[in-house]
Amino acid sequence: MTDVIQTLNELKQQRMKVVEDQKAIAMKAAEEKRALNSDEELAYQKAEEDFNALEGQIRMLEEIEARATQMQAQYEQNITTTQQEPTGPDYRSVFEKYVRYGLQELTAEEKNLLRKNYDSDKETRAQTVTTSGGGYAIPEGFAGRVETVLKYYGPMLDENVVTIMRTASGNDLPYPTLDDTSNTGRLLAINTAVTTTDLTFGVVTLKSYKFSSDQILVPWELLQDEQVDLTGVIGDQLGQRLGRVTNTYLTTGTGSAQPNGVVNATSAGKTASSATAITRSEIIDLIHSVDRAYRVGNKVGFMMHDSILAAIKKLTIGSGDDRPLWQPSIVAGEPDRLEGFPYWINNDMDSTLAASKKVLLFGDFSKYLVRVAGPTRFRRLEERYADSDQVGFFGLLRLDGNLIASGSIKHLITASA
């Protein structure tokens, strides 16, 4: 792990050097009040290619580091779990056997193990697999793989960005809200009564909308191939599909028979003067449109589409200072920043600078609450596809999302046409 961190720091230093080289080229042309000549254009494009290559290496190593940390934690947890489990068939291998061959191929002892795990207090809170015969607990490694892939497809199911609350059932959940940022105390004269200022509470009702991965058809030959990590393959596919659909609705959902997506839930913090461009001053106005009470915390930052980030990277500080507004991180574990705040890429947001587009969010994303209702269910369908010699699998996930503090996140919208 130390070697990875050291290499990350070195790569980030190299990336910063490339940015400095690009800045030098751009500033020289700006000082001479001219466009880049052909040699400078080639040098700038070469630096851009170097930057993109370094960016790819950095992201790859950061993913490896995060995965290694997660695997180490899981390994330590598995050791503890193994020490606590009674001797007998291994639950993970029994589950793998069930996925490959179905319930009918399990021995009585193996079936009892599945039922025992499902009935335990611990496992009823975990992920479950459901067939016509009942539900069984998915091993933690499988559940973790699904959740890891879910996060990869967008930030809206990442606990490092938003707040996730897991509930055992899917009943409507009234969640109290409070915004007291406009109230303050007061200076009292002698013998003056204290003024009463009531708190104003609201309620956001979180539901449990059902999302499906759609069916994944697996040929019988693959089920029989013991060399294939079948639960890993299926876990990746479930995570990808559920990750895409849930991130979309948690981002752009209308709130009518679907989650109230974070974009729809926010109010306007700044309207750009142009329909096709944004400026640094408008980004600063967006930041300061959010009450300072919501500008402190490790989940305070920006959210945008990757294409909008590309446009922001081309902005400079301005007023005679041609340094780029966007600053890459030079320390492993520290995110790249914009105006001192981290940012998260969400490709379900508007991708183009066009009329009336909500292209940038800023605020405290811990105030966006995602309610996950019950376990992720996993179903195995064998008879339905017997004539094609295939077995079907699909996953179901119930959740909802909404902003629980009005004004805690605001958006920048481009001018209307």
Give the 3-state secondary structure of residue 88: coil
Q: Find the range with the poorest average confidence among 133-147, 306-320, 327-341.
A: 133-147
Q: 94 vs 207, which has greater pLDDT?
A: 207
**In angstroms, rounded to a whole number, what is the distance separating the alpha carbons of residues 375 and 125?**
7
- Encode pLDDT of 64-85 as tens digits: 777 677 666 655 655 554 444 4
Rounded to an integer, what distance in angstroms lies between the CA atom of residue 396 and that of residue 375? Answer: 9
Asked whether the predicted pLDDT for residue 175 surpasses 70, the reply is yes
With 70 as the cut, is the pLDDT of residue 139 above it?
no
Say yes or no to pLDDT of 179 above 70. no
Tell me how far CA of residue 108 lies from CA of 103, 123, 199, in angstroms.
10, 20, 60
Residue 129 carries which side chain, given as an amino acid letter? V
CA distance 12 to 330: 5
* CA distance linking residue 156 with residue 364, whole number of Å: 13
Stretch 119-135: mean pLDDT? 40
Element (H, E) at 401: strand 390-403
Given a cut of 60, is residue 331 above it in pLDDT? Answer: no
In the chain, the largest separation of any two C-alpha atoms, in whole Å, equals 89
Is the predicted pLDDT of residue 124 greater than 50, yes or no? no
Report residue 185 as tokens: 């105390």
Which of 12 and 320 is assigned the larger pLDDT?
12
| Residue with the larger pLDDT of the pair 350 and 135 | 350
Q: Which residue has the higher pLDDT, 371 or 312?
A: 371
Residues contacting 108, CB < 8 A, separation 6+? none
How would you classify residue 359: left for phi > 0, otherwise alpha for psi between -120 and 50, otherwise beta? alpha
Q: For residue 119, which of 135, 104, 143 has the smallest C-alpha distance?
A: 135
pLDDT of residue 148: 57
H or E segment to which residue 135 belongs: strand 134-137
Q: Read off the pLDDT of residues 149-160 as tens digits, 9 standing for 90 and up.
A: 565 568 999 989
Report pLDDT for 325. Answer: 67
The type of residue at 86 is P
Residue of higher predicted confidence among 400 and 318: 400
Q: Is residue 401 within 8 Å of residue 260, measured between CB atoms? A: yes
Band of residue 116 on the pLDDT scale cut at 50, 70, 90: low
Higher-scoring residue by pLDDT: 102, 323: 102
Residue with tokens 């969400």: 346
* Residue (of 369, 364, 368) closest to 300 by Cα position: 364
Eight-class DSSP state of 193: P
According to the model, what pLDDT value does residue 378 have?
76
Nearest to 372 by CA among 193, 187, 166: 166
Question: What integer pLDDT is reported at residue 136 of this predicted model?
Answer: 47
217-235 residue pLDDT tens: 888 888 777 667 777 777 7
Per-residue pLDDT, 314: 80
Q: Tell how far CA 82 is from the center of its chain.
A: 31
Q: C-alpha angle with apex 104: 115 to 91, nearest 5 degrees?
A: 40
Which range (127-131, 214-218, 253-257, 290-294) has the least confidence? Answer: 127-131
Question: Tell me, what's the pLDDT at 109?
Answer: 82
Mean pLDDT, rounded, for 99-108:
76
Name the more confident of 338 and 184.
338
**166 alpha-carbon distance from chain centroid:** 16
Question: Could you tell me if 271 and 415 are in contact, meaning their C-beta atoms sit under 8 angstroms apart?
Answer: yes
- Would you state the pLDDT for residue 352? 94
pLDDT (average), residues 268-288: 95
Contacts of 113 (CB under 8 A, 6+ apart): 88, 89, 91, 94
- The alpha carbon dihedral of 93, 99, 100, 102 has a sign of positive
Predicted confidence (pLDDT) at residue 411 exceeds the cutoff of 80: yes
> What is the reported pLDDT for 330?
53
Q: What is the pLDDT of residue 78?
A: 54
pLDDT > 90? residue 119: no
Check residue 155 and report its DSSP letter: G
Residue 46 pLDDT > 60, yes or no? yes
Lowest mean pLDDT among 18-32, 317-331, 384-398: 317-331
Nearest to 250 by CA among 354, 158, 146: 158
What are the tens digits of pLDDT across the range 347-399?
999 999 999 999 999 999 999 999 999 877 778 788 888 888 888 888 889 99
Percent of the chain residues topping a pLDDT of 90: 30
8 Å CB contact between 221 and 235: no
> Would you tell me how many other CB atoms lie within 10 Å of the CB of residue 1?
10
Q: State residue 250's pLDDT score.
A: 98
User: Measuring CA to CA, how many Å separate 199 from each of 179, 203, 290, 295?
Assistant: 8, 13, 20, 22
Residue 129 pairs in a beta bridge with: 136, 378
User: For the packed helices 140-152 and 38-84, what is the interaxial angle rounded to 10 degrees?
Assistant: 160
The confidence score (pLDDT) of residue 201 equals 66
